[in-house]
Amino acid sequence: MKKTISITIIILISILLNGCIGMGLTQLDVNKPLDQRKGIIVGQISEKFITRPHDLWIAIKSTSKENKTNLILKTIGFPDENENRNILSNRFIYELPEGEYTIHRWLYAHYKGISILQEKPITFNVKANEISYIGNFQGISLTMCLSNYDNYKTEVIKLKEKYPILKDRQIVNKANLLNFKG
Nearest to 124, CA basis, from 32, 49, 58, 80:
58
The residue among 56, 42, 27 whose CA lies nearest residue 141 is 56
Reported as a single tens digit per residue, the pLDDT across 70-87 is 899 998 888 888 888 899
Instruction: Check pLDDT > 60 for residue 35.
Output: yes
Residue 9 confidence (pLDDT) above 90:
no
Please tell me the predicted confidence (pLDDT) of residue 16: 42
pLDDT in tens, 125-178: 999 999 999 999 999 888 888 899 999 999 999 999 999 999 999 999 999 888
pTM score of the predicted model: 0.82
pLDDT at 100: 95
User: According to the model, what pLDDT value does residue 122 have?
Assistant: 87
Least confident of 5-9, 80-84, 88-92, 149-153: 5-9
Q: What is the pLDDT of residue 18?
A: 43
Inform me whether the pLDDT recorded for 20 exceeds 60.
no
Helix (H) / strand (E) element for 125: namely: strand 122-126
* Predicted local distance difference test score (pLDDT) of residue 25: 63
pLDDT at position 15, please? Answer: 47
**Burial state string for 17-36 with b = 16 or more CB within 10 A and e = fewer than 16:** eeeebbeebeebeeeeeeee
